[in-house]
Amino acid sequence: MNYDTIKVRFQSPVCFIQFFRPQANNTINDLLVEECLSVLSQYEDTATIIVLEGLPEVFCFGADFEATINNNGKVKGPEPLYDLWLKLAQGPFISIAYVRGKANAGGIGFVAACDIVIADETAQFSLSELLFGLLPACVMPFLVRRIGFQKAQYLTLMTRPVPVHQAHAWGLVDAYDATGDTLLRTHLLRLRYLSKQGIVRYKHLMRSLYDLSQSKSLAIEANKEVFSDTENLQRIERYVKTGLFPWEH
């Protein structure tokens, strides 16, 4: 199938999904979420491994602010995106995020939802939402599960990028090296030995131990609240039109 926002290839038993919105900095819009969910539904019974990757300079930079402004804030809302992250976290496959370049805001959601995170030395990670009066509401349940409350809080409040070595020390990244490609291949060679049934049983156990769906309603309501705030939407619109952050004149 042909997709507008992603590129997909299946090399049994691995399904590769590449975010491909180079003109939009690999930001997240409704169609990207829809297409990713479609691919996961298509391959969840046949793939044992799902690999998410972006472009060399940017993995995923978060929400598409232009789409938010062009639709007067009326997008489908955060629930489909939360469901996509739930699928990556709890689906019957091993999910891997292969990060090069920038991962910001919702991009961190994809990273934190995956079972394994591999990166190269260019990778950097940030949560910029509070700069615009927004919250990483849907990201937080996945991020806290991965790195703990205080590190997730620090990343949220400081809003600045952290380099890959810091992200590795915090547990956000599992392994990294200079290029990442060889590291990814090494992991895939090992993970191919795992049976589909073994993976299904393991993911079922982990879902029972840490049920991310319990946080869904709170996260979605908090997200809707900040994206319906007129002042926040004005900050976003100004940034889209001028490139200026809220405190810049």
Residue 63 is predicted with a pLDDT of 95
Instruction: Please give the Cα distance from 68 to 82 (Å, whole number).
Output: 17
Alpha-carbon distances, residue 72 vs 92, 133, 232 (angstroms): 37, 17, 12
Residue 72 is predicted with a pLDDT of 55
Instruction: Please give the Cα distance from 93 to 14 (Å, whole number).
Output: 10
Is the CB of residue 133 less than 8 Å from the CB of residue 229? yes
Report whether pLDDT(7) > 60.
yes
Residue 68 is predicted with a pLDDT of 84
Instruction: Please give the Cα distance from 120 to 97 (Å, whole number).
Output: 11
Q: Which two tokens stand for residue 243?
A: 């490139």
Of 64, 115, 120, 174, the active-site residue reads 64
Q: Which two tokens stand for residue 87?
A: 């699928």
Of 53, 115, 120, 129, the active-site residue reads 129
Q: Which two tokens stand for residue 234?
A: 């004005």
**DSSP-assigned states of every residue in 169-223:** HHTS-SEEESSSHHHHHHHHHHHTTS-HHHHHHHHHHHHHHS-GGGGHHHHHHHH
What predicted TM-score, i.e. pTM, was given to this entire model? 0.96
Report whether pLDDT(74) > 60.
no
Residue 113 is predicted with a pLDDT of 98
DSSP label at residue 237 = H
Q: Which amino acid is at 101?
A: G
Is the CB of residue 36 less than 8 Å from the CB of residue 20? no
Q: Is 38 exposed, middle or buried (0-12, 13-18, 19+ CB in 10 A)?
A: middle
Report whether pLDDT(159) > 90.
yes
Residue 75: pLDDT band (50, 70, 90) is low
Q: What is the pLDDT of residues 170-190, one digit of tens each?
A: 999 999 999 999 999 999 999
Q: What is the pLDDT of residues 125-137, one digit of tens each?
A: 999 999 999 999 9
On average, the pLDDT of the chain sits at 95
Please give the average per-residue pLDDT across 223-228, as a whole number.
93
Q: Which of 192, 147, 181, 207 is nearest to 47 (CA)?
A: 192
Is the CB of residue 118 less than 8 Å from the CB of residue 175? yes
Residue 77: pLDDT band (50, 70, 90) is confident
129 tagged catalytic: yes
229 tagged catalytic: no
Q: Of residues 52 and 70, which shows the higher confidence score?
A: 52
